[in-house]
Chain A
Amino acid sequence: MKATVSTEWLSGCSGCHVALVDLHEKLFGLLDDMEIVRSPVLVDQKTYPKANVGIVEGAVRSEHDLEALHKIRGSVDVLVAYGTCAVYGGPSGVGWLYRKDDVFDAVYERGPTNAGGERPDSGVPSLEESVRPIDEYVPVDLYLPGCPPHPFFVAAGLHNLLDSSKPGLTHRSVCADCNRKMQKRAGVQLVPAAVVGDDPDLCFLSQGIICLGSVSLNRCLAPCPKIGVACTGCAGPSLDVLTDPNRDTRTELAERMEKLCGIPRKDTVSYLEMNANTFFAYAMASPTIYKKPTVEIREWAGPSQAATS
């Protein structure tokens, strides 16, 4: 008997659903074992039929998201949080920094393109107080972060799930798939606001450029550092950062840069704090990050900072 799969799409960009279609020919192989009974981009199905596996993309931002999430949880046996938004809040998680009223003020009252100043109050679902990852509301069985997850990992995850064995995904970081050489070098300075280095074969950290590869989970096969752009950490924090309460993205990175090229720890830490909106962009709405005793993300990137910069 074929396994049935149902997917749903909350506050996200649909990129994760596109990644599902990016399986190309592999999708046909998978369809021998599974049947997609509901999917906003593939199947014309508005209700929530019973299914074995539920795949949810996107964070919870509106009343509609919340209702859809509860409905799909009720209709499936195994729920997969699919993509960084569902797992950590993702890019839309930046809304977690602001109160609902501040968001409305900025968009509908002070927004330069919306001079009328009217808030929409009918025909659209109302917003929740904040943006949250889906496991804040319902139990989640499996997590597959990534922005979007590379089809390689989607296929590996689905294959393992359908064979009812454990998902064979590793906990390696992005560095594991990057082919740049990490080397100790003396006399390197921190290069602020750079994402491209001089040497195409040398690790960004060895060149003094902030790259989040070593603190991010590998769900992408490292395409950015391979073509010459520093990693922005789109698959969320690595296992080290997640499991140790006293370490976070900035302390881990500062320690490595200090040991590799002698850049003072304090410099890296304060640079990352000043640009927290960039370097914590994908996981700031997740309690695994903002509840760490070392992370004060609202202070670093919150409304008061936005007003001054």
Chain B
Amino acid sequence: MVTIKVDDKACVGCTLCVDECPTDVFEFDEAKRLPVVTRPEMCFGCLSCSKICPADAIDHQGILISRNFYHDDYAVRLASRLGLSTPPELGVSAEAAEREKALEDLGIRLLSMASVLRQTLGAALPAVGRMAGTTLAAQLPRYQLPETFDQAIQVVRDGLNPAWIIGDTARQNGSLKVSVKGCFVRDLCRREHLDLGGDLCTLFGTYLLGYLGKVTKSRLKLVHTDRTWESCRYDLEVHT
């Protein structure tokens, strides 16, 4: 449970936190000129309110301290260059050449990140991927939390599209087979003429599993991986 405390003495009554909160945790009391925490259960700890607060008057307890990806200016700029900020149904996209260049930049950044992690952490690379996936899943807005296993798979499917396009999933007696059809890492490897199964594949494969495990609330053990240029298949053992 997240506890949010607003320091009344420090608050300057600018209402920025009320506007900023993505899940409408605050309401503004016009008489007192203070924000009131009305729906603390909706808070998923993005810290947007705390970051925007001019007086730094909002304190959170019981949140996962992790830096939020949308605070990364470089990532935001890269995403807008990729045309991801406009919904695809509007038919607006960045120019093809600019998009190519942005994809190249993204590839270079990801590859260098994976190799730095491999060099500094060595065999702990899968753990990093899994941890990152778990962290992302822990930041899901509350109203998305699924109840059944199938719903969970659907959340994963929706959440990861279009970076990954999850194909068929087959579950029986504690084993789960997940096939991944579209994959941006595979596209990247194709573009850069790299073999499948490198550091980047390990990192994002485990990232995917961490995310899947957290959303489905189960412990997943990777038994076998089958990677081809068309689709990859992960054979998993499920412990609930």
Give A residues with C-beta under 8 Å from B.
171-173, 175-178, 180-184, 203, 205, 213-214, 238-240, 244-247, 251, 255-256, 259-260, 293-294
Is B12 touching A256 in the complex (CB atoms < 8 A)?
no
- The listed residue (B12, B20, B71) touching A175 by CB distance below 8 A is B12
Interface segment, one of B47-55, B188-196, B197-205, B213-221: B47-55
Taking a contact as CB atoms under 8 Å apart, the answer to whether B72 and A175 are in contact is no
Q: Are A214 and B51 in contact (CB under 8 A)?
A: no
A239 nearest in chain B by CB position: B56
| Bound form: Cα–Cα A172–B7 in Å | 9
Find out whether the CB atom of A173 lies under 8 angstroms from the CB atom of B71. no
Taking a contact as CB atoms under 8 Å apart, the answer to whether A183 and B54 are in contact is: no
Q: Which residues, 107 to 165 on B, are CB-close (under 8 Å) to A? A: none
List B residues at the A interface (Cβ < 8 Å). Answer: 7, 9-10, 12-16, 19-20, 50-52, 54-57, 67, 71-74
Given contacts A172-B10, A183-B14, A260-B16, contact A246 B74 (CB under 8 A): yes
**Do A294 and B73 touch across chains, with their CB atoms under 8 A apart?**
yes
- Which residues of B lie under 8 Å from residue A177 when comparing CB positions? 10
Name 17 extra pairs, CB < 8 A, besides A180-B12, A246-B71: A171-B56, A172-B55, A176-B7, A176-B55, A176-B56, A176-B57, A182-B12, A182-B13, A182-B54, A240-B50, A240-B51, A240-B56, A244-B51, A244-B67, A255-B52, A256-B52, A259-B20
B51-A175 in contact (CB<8A): no
CB pair B54–A181 under 8 Å, yes or no, is no
Q: Once the chains bind, are B74 and A173 in contact (CB under 8 Å)? A: no
Residues from chain B with a CB closer than 8 A to the CB of A182 are 12-14, 54
B52: chain A residues at CB < 8 Å are 255-256, 259
State A60–B224 Cα separation when bound (angstroms): 58
In the complex, are the beta carbons of A181 and B13 less than 8 A apart?
A: yes
CB pair A203 B19 closer than 8 Å: no
Query: Closest approach, in angstroms, between the C-beta of B97 and any C-beta of chain A?
Result: 24
Distance (whole angstroms) from the CB of B116 to the closest CB of chain A: 14
Query: Min CB distance, B32 to chain A, in Å?
Result: 14
With beta carbons under 8 angstroms apart, the residue of B14, B50, B67 that contacts A184 is B14
Q: Decide if B72 touches A173 in the complex (CB within 8 Å).
A: no
Q: Contact check, B54 vs A173: say whether CB atoms are below 8 A apart.
A: yes
Q: A182-B13, A259-B16 are in contact. Are A173 and B73 (CB under 8 A)?
A: no
B72→A260 contact, CB < 8 A = no
Cα distance A239–B58 in the bound complex, in angstroms: 12
Tell me whether B73 and A175 are in contact (CB under 8 A). Answer: no
Set of chain A residues within 8 Å of B74, measured between Cβ atoms: 246, 293
Cβ of B54 and Cβ of A213 under 8 Å apart?
A: yes
Could you name 24 residue pairs across A and B whose Cβ atoms are closer than 8 Å?
A: A171-B56, A172-B10, A173-B54, A175-B10, A175-B54, A175-B56, A176-B10, A176-B57, A178-B12, A181-B12, A182-B12, A203-B12, A205-B54, A214-B54, A240-B51, A244-B67, A246-B73, A247-B71, A256-B16, A256-B52, A259-B16, A260-B16, A293-B74, A294-B73
Question: Once bound together, how far apart are the Cα atoms of A240 and B53, in whole Å?
Answer: 10
Tally A-B pairs: CB < 8 A: 68
Name the A residues within 8 Å of B16 (CB-CB).
256, 259-260
* CB neighbours of A239 from chain B (8 A): 56
| B54 / chain A contacts, CB cutoff of 8 Å | 173, 175, 182, 205, 213-214, 256
Chain B residue, CB-CB nearest to A294:
B73
Cβ contact within 8 Å between B10 and A246: no
* Min C-beta distance of A269 to chain B, whole Å: 11
Return B4 CB to nearest CB of chain A, in Å: 16
| B73 engages A251 (CB within 8 Å) | yes
* Residues of chain B within 8 A of A176, CB atoms compared: 7, 9-10, 12, 55-57
Q: How far is the CB of B86 from chain A (nearest CB, A)?
A: 19
Nearest A-chain residue to B15, judged by Cβ:
A184
Query: Please, which residues of chain B bring their CB within 8 A of the CB of A294?
Result: 73
Which residue on A lies nearest to B50, using beta carbons?
A240
Tell whether A238 pairs with B56 under 8 Å between CB atoms, given A176-B7, A251-B73, A259-B19.
yes
Q: Please pick, from A181, A214, A247, A260, the residue contacting B55 in the complex, using a CB distance under 8 A.
A: A214
Bound-state Cα–Cα, A173 to B11, Å: 10
- Most chain A CB within a 10 A radius of its CB, from B13, B14, B50, B57: B14
Q: Contacts A244-B51, A244-B67, A246-B73: A172 and B57 contacting too (C-beta < 8 A)?
A: yes
Roughly how many angstroms separate A244 CA and B46 CA in the complex, as a whole number? Answer: 13
Closest to B51 in A: A240
Closest chain B residue, CB of each to CB of A215: B54
Determine the chain A residues whose CB is within 8 A of the CB of B73 once the complex forms.
246-247, 251, 294
Contact of A173 among B19, B20, B56, B67 (CB under 8 A): B56
| Contact, CB under 8 Å: A173 / B55 | yes
